[in-house]
A and B are shown apart, each in its own frame.
Chain A
Amino acid sequence: MDGHATAASTYAKVLGALLALTVITVLAAGFSFGSWNVIIALGIASVKASLVALFFMHLRHDKPMSAIIFVTGAVVLGVFLMICTLDSNARGDDPVRPATRDSGAPALSVPSAPSTPGTQAQGLRPLPGRPPNPR
């Protein structure tokens, strides 16, 4: 129905590339590139995702409507991530309020946690190792 049938050998090659990229991701995670590690990992993941979408999901030979829908979804997701990141960076406050979880959060009830009366009353206790909320 698509008119262009991808050869079976192409699928095998794509699988080979996907497996090779998986090995590369694991190996790359063994080295320390600083903040580049996550960029490299996500870059490789995106190459793999593109291979799956283009070949296994037939976007390469499909009618353009499928690709338009898929890319629109991906762009919306990107905008979603960007706006949420901007927002959370601009706030500067910690979305986790440990004191509201005092009934059962052993991980956060570290004895050395500084607790000033004022922040206790509001249910705000900074996470140990983090500077207190500047605002």
Chain B
Amino acid sequence: MSAAATSQGEFLQHHFTTSEQQADAGKIGMWLFLVTEMLLFGGLFVGFAIMQSKHPEAFLQAHHHLDRMLGFINTVVLLVSSYTMVMAVHSARADRRKRVIVYLLLTLMCAGVFLGIKGVEYSHKFQEGLLPGRFYSHKGDTVPGQFMFFSFYFMMTGLHGLHILGGMAVIAWVLRRAVRGDFSHGYYTPVDLVGLYWHLVDLIWIYLFPLLYLIK
């Protein structure tokens, strides 16, 4: 099946009248899902805010164990991946199949780099015993209670990392469909919705980075 052979109505489900109605319905569903994701992370953000306001010294001391440079690089990598993702959507809308594939591959690559850097950061924390809750075994702390910071750190970045993994899976799925030639200017909802999800994951990191790495 080539991209040219894909007709507008081929992927239209029988319970929708038009492709546009189908696309709109999909979009509303995706946004509702994204809001539940916001609230899921929101709970952690609220917990972080309250605990940090109660133990500012412990959080300040604990955050010095994070590598600001690695956090910065990861932020840049994720922002660039958001750009390549939106360009993939843009290309799908413009019937540029090859570009869609290239941009999706670039997005996947950025996601891989992000997880790789996260892995390096995690292994450093593991070695130093900077672990959440009762697993915290770092020696020589001047301020008590730093395990709390790392509970939040691992919960928030861990959950975010799982979302990156999930994002990579759905990007790979969309990539497969793009290679198959499913998408055209009349039907690119999957690329569009995966893009929305990917941008939300980026959006969450935009708040995680200053909160975790840049405490003052």
Residues in chain A within 8 A of chain B (CB atoms): 1, 5-6, 8, 11-12, 14-15, 18-19, 22, 25-26, 29, 32-33, 37-38, 41-42, 44-45, 48-49, 52-53, 55-57, 62-63, 65-66, 69-70, 72-74, 76-77, 80-81, 84-85, 88, 94-96, 101, 103-108, 110, 127-129
B203 & A108 in contact (Cβ 8 Å cutoff)? no
Instruction: Give the contact stretch, choosing among B9-17, B71-79, B113-121, B168-176.
Output: B71-79
A127 & B145 in contact (Cβ 8 Å cutoff)? yes
A11 & B57 in contact (Cβ 8 Å cutoff)? no
B31 & A69 in contact (Cβ 8 Å cutoff)? yes
Residues of A within 8 A of B196 (CB): 57
A65 & B51 in contact (Cβ 8 Å cutoff)? no
B214 & A29 in contact (Cβ 8 Å cutoff)? yes
Does any Cβ of A come within 8 Å of B28's Cβ?
Answer: yes
B199 & A1 in contact (Cβ 8 Å cutoff)? no
Q: How far is the CA of A73 from the CA of B146 in the complex (A)?
A: 32
> Which of these, B34, B49, B76, contacts A85 with CB under 8 Å?
B49
21 cross-chain CB contacts under 8 A: A5-B90, A19-B79, A22-B209, A42-B211, A45-B207, A49-B207, A56-B85, A57-B200, A62-B27, A77-B39, A80-B43, A85-B46, A88-B54, A96-B54, A107-B138, A107-B145, A110-B144, A127-B55, A127-B145, A128-B144, A129-B143
Instruction: Give the contact stretch, choosing among B18-26, B104-112, B154-162.
Output: B18-26
Q: Is the interface of B mostly helix, strand, loop or mixed?
A: helix
> Which of these, A11, A25, A104, contacts B90 with CB under 8 Å?
A11
> B149-207: which have CB < 8 Å to A?
185-186, 188, 195-196, 199-200, 202-203, 206-207
Q: How far is the CA of A18 from the CA of B209 in the complex (A)?
A: 13
B76 & A19 in contact (Cβ 8 Å cutoff)? yes
Residues of B within 8 A of A44 (CB): 210
Q: Which residue of A lies closest to B187 (CB)?
A: A1
A105 & B79 in contact (Cβ 8 Å cutoff)? no
> B128-158: which have CB < 8 Å to A?
134-139, 141, 143-148
Residues of B within 8 A of A72 (CB): 35
Residues of A within 8 A of B209 (CB): 22, 25, 45
B141 & A107 in contact (Cβ 8 Å cutoff)? yes
Residues of B within 8 A of A49 (CB): 203, 206-207
> B36-87: which have CB < 8 Å to A?
38-39, 42-43, 45-46, 49-51, 53-55, 57, 68, 72, 75-76, 79-80, 82-83, 85-87
Q: Is the interface of A mostly helix, strand, loop or mixed?
A: helix
Residues of A within 8 A of B135 (CB): 104
CB distance from B17 to the nearest CB of A (A): 14
B75 & A22 in contact (Cβ 8 Å cutoff)? yes
CB distance from B94 to the nearest CB of A (A): 8
Q: How far is the CA of A94 from the CA of B54 in the complex (A)?
A: 8
A104 & B28 in contact (Cβ 8 Å cutoff)? no
Given contacts A41-B210, A44-B210, contact A22 B45 (CB under 8 A): no
B137 & A106 in contact (Cβ 8 Å cutoff)? yes
CB distance from B20 to the nearest CB of A (A): 6
